[in-house]
């Protein structure tokens, strides 16, 4: 696509072989440490042989699938269950807001000193 005002080539939303052009951007760069464990993969041939023979293929639980995601899928719930879940979350959010609201500090009452400074271990 070409901008009519500037004559500049605009990037397309969908790239295919008909509208492909070389970008100056290198694309995604990986900056994190790889979490791949060496020698933990099976060859495709081994996977297929095990599958055909009915031998279970050992699988590991991915890192991103922890026990943190214990929320039910709202798409599989009916309207009453979704409404109940919304009320539960709203009550929990209100409770967290009251807990996290900073409470005003209550300072101890000061005795009138009539402008005199009293040196005592309590006031230091």
pLDDT digits (tens, 9 = 90+) for 100-109: 777 667 676 6
81 pLDDT above the threshold of 80: yes
Q: Is 2 helix (H, G, I), strand (E, B) or coil?
A: strand
Structure tokens at 58: 């050992």
> Who's near 8: CB < 8 A, 6+ residues apart?
2
Region of 27 on the Ramachandran plot (φ > 0 left; ψ -120 to 50 alpha; else beta): left
Q: Is 80 helix (H, G, I), strand (E, B) or coil?
A: helix
Higher pLDDT, 16 or 86: 86
Give pLDDT, residue 64.
63
């Amino acid at each position: 696509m070409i901008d009519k005002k500037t004559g500049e080539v605009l990037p397309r939303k969908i790239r295919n072989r008909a509208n492909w052009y070389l970008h100056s951007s290198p694309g995604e760069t990986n900056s994190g440490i790889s979490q791949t464990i060496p020698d933990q993969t099976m060859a495709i041939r081994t996977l297929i042989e095990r599958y055909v023979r009915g031998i279970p293929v050992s699988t590991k639980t991915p890192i991103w699938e922890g026990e943190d995601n214990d929320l039910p899928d709202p798409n599989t719930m009916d309207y009453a269950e979704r409404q109940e879940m919304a009320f539960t979350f709203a009550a929990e959010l209100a409770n967290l807001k009251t807990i996290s609201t900073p409470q005003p500090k209550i300072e101890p009452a000061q005795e009138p000193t009539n402008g005199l400074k009293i040196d005592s271990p309590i006031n230091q």
